[in-house]
Structure 1
Amino acid sequence: MTALPEWMLLPPEGLGAADYEALPEEVSRRIEVVDGAVLVNVTPRRSHQIIARRLANVLEEACGSGSAVATDVDLRLRDVPLLNRRPDIVVYEASVPDDDVLRPHHCVLVVEVMSPGSVTADQIDKPAEYAAAGIVHFWRVEIDEANSYRLTVFRYRLDPTTKSYASAGVEVDKMVVSDPFTVSVDFADLR
């Protein structure tokens, strides 16, 4: 039987921000932390990674020089108890230095590409967390593997009075939007 790595032996208050930042990169890039509890993420399928990368490239071209686009990076939603997610794509203010922790107020848009192992997190948990943190735009990409990997993008915009997301549209096969920036993409190009 294999013993748990020392970083998984958590105190009752869970993993803290300083402990998380001290983790080796090969560990931190595979986990998310929710209320101090460590969630180990399954490595996404190639199709998931290809779609996320190609969509990130489209967004990078569309968002302009004031924004930057990153994939699979830490997003610190809360310090205590620690809430640290790793969205598939984040569009954020380009002025944020590389060494700074990415925070919700830096973010313009967060995108999750749903996988079989992330349905509950991507449909329920993460949207609620991103909305509570004040991130204005959230998109979820769903892949219909049974239908030739057809893509659907569910777009949401934050309702500031309720601190929850309201639907901003559902896009199938292609998307032409102007908020938070103008972007046009044929989903066949993402697959």
Structure 2
Amino acid sequence: MTALPDWMALPPEGLSTAEYEALPEEVCSRIKIVDGAILVAPTPRRSHQRIARRLANELEHAAGPELTVATDVDLRLRDVPLLNRRPDIAVYDSTLPDEVVLLPQHCLLVVEVMSPGSVTADQTDKPAEYAAAGIEHFWRFESDRQDDRRLTAFRYRLDPTTRLYAPAGVDTDKLAVSDPGELRIDFESLL
């Protein structure tokens, strides 16, 4: 049996912000922190990565110079207990310097591409966390379980009164939106 690395031995209160920031980048890129606990994330399937990359390219083309689009980037939702997610795509204020931690107030939109191993997190946990953090838009892309060549996008917009996401639309095969920006995508181009 292989011993766990030292960084996985956590105190009862979980991993702190300072301890997380001291970890090597190659470790941070494969983990998420939820309530101070380390969640090791498997590398997504190639189809997942392809969809996320192509969608990010479309979003970047539509975003304009005031927004930056990044894939698989750290997003600090809370410091105590530490809650750090890595959305598949984040669209955020382009004036944010690279060395500054990405926080919810910098983000306009986060997107998750659902994988078989992330159903509960992508459908329940992450939307609740992103909404509580105040991120205005959340989109989730799901492959049809019967036909993985068919995508559906579930779009949500933050209700500022309840701080919960309200449905903003469900799109199958193609997407045409004007909020948070003008974007038209034929989902076949993402596959």
Same structural fold, with TM-score higher than 0.5 when normalized by the shorter chain: yes
Distance 1:165 1:172 in 2: 20
Distance 1:74 1:148, change over 3 A: closer
* Equivalent residue, structure 1, for 2:28: 28
Q: Could you give the per-residue CA deviations for residues 59-105 of structure 1, whole angstroms, max 9, x where no partner exists? A: 00001110000000000000011000000000000000000000000
Distance 1:150 1:141 in 2: 10
- Listed as ranges, the matches of 1:15-164 within 5 Å are 15-164=15-164
Distance 1:39 1:148 in 2: 26
Query: Where do 4+ consecutive residues of structure 1 move more than 4 Å?
Result: none
Distance 2:67 2:51 in 1: 20
Q: Could you give the per-residue CA deviations for residues 125-147 of structure 1, whole angstroms, max 9, x where no partner exists? A: 00000000000000000012531
Distance 2:50 2:184 in 1: 18
State the TM-score, normalizing by the size of structure 2: 0.99
Q: Could you give the per-residue CA deviations for residues 19-45 of structure 1, whole angstroms, max 9, x where no partner exists? A: 001111111000000110001111100
> What 5-or-longer segments of structure 2 have no aligned partner?
none
Distance 2:148 2:136 in 1: 32
- Give the counterpart letter for 2:24 in structure 1: P
State the TM-score, normalizing by the size of structure 1: 0.99
Q: Tell me, what secondary structure is at the counterpart of 1:169?
A: strand
Q: Tell me, what secondary structure is at the counterpart of 1:162?
A: coil
Distance 1:177 1:16, change over 3 A: same
* Equivalent residue, structure 1, for 2:9: 9
Percent of residue pairs identical: 71
- Give the counterpart letter for 2:151 in structure 1: L
> What 5-or-longer segments of structure 1 have no aligned partner?
none
